[in-house]
Amino acid sequence: MQSLQAEVEPFGIDTITVNQGFFRTELLSEESTNFAERTVEDYSDRRVRQMEFRKGYNGRQSGDPARLARTLITLSSRDKPPRRFIADADPVETAEKVAATLQQQADAYRELCSFLAWNNA
């Protein structure tokens, strides 16, 4: 999405990447979720756990989709909307972990990364 923003920004178009948690919609209901009939044996345990999670979490999601919609309308009407909006507590925690991991990797390999630059040859 970041590359899309760079492409459309000269035309006065803004984009917002929304990282959302689970909102109480029909997404997890049996009517909305289809699982492949063919399976890969190596993923069987993980697949079963995922299916059990979805069935058990259906109707218990904490996010309110109407609030999310109102929030996105508010954000998109701003002169300078955020490039990324993290909606709900679960994705905030995930984003923080990703950011920390990226920082650790950048720090751990900073010398090697700098070595690759032309002007340091």
In a domain, 104, yes or no: no
In a domain, 107, yes or no: no
Q: What is the mean pLDDT of residues 99-107?
A: 94
Distance CA 59, CA 95 (A): 25
- 14-68, pLDDT tens digit by residue? 999 999 888 888 878 878 877 778 889 999 999 889 888 888 888 888 888 899 9
Q: Which pLDDT score, from 0 to 100, does residue 119 have?
A: 64
In a domain, 76, yes or no: yes
Q: What is the mean pLDDT of residues 3-19?
A: 92
Query: What residue numbers bound the domain in which 9 lies?
Result: 2-87
Closest CA to 81 of 20, 15, 9: 15
Q: Which region holds residue 29: left if phi is over 0, alpha if psi is between -120 and 50, else beta? A: beta
Distance CA 23, CA 58 (A): 10
In a domain, 39, yes or no: yes
Distance CA 33, CA 54 (A): 9
Q: At 20, which helix (H) or strand (E)?
A: strand 17-20
Q: Which pLDDT score, from 0 to 100, does residue 17 have?
A: 92
| Total domains present in the chain | 1
Rounded percentage of the chain residues whose pLDDT exceeds 90: 42
In a domain, 82, yes or no: yes
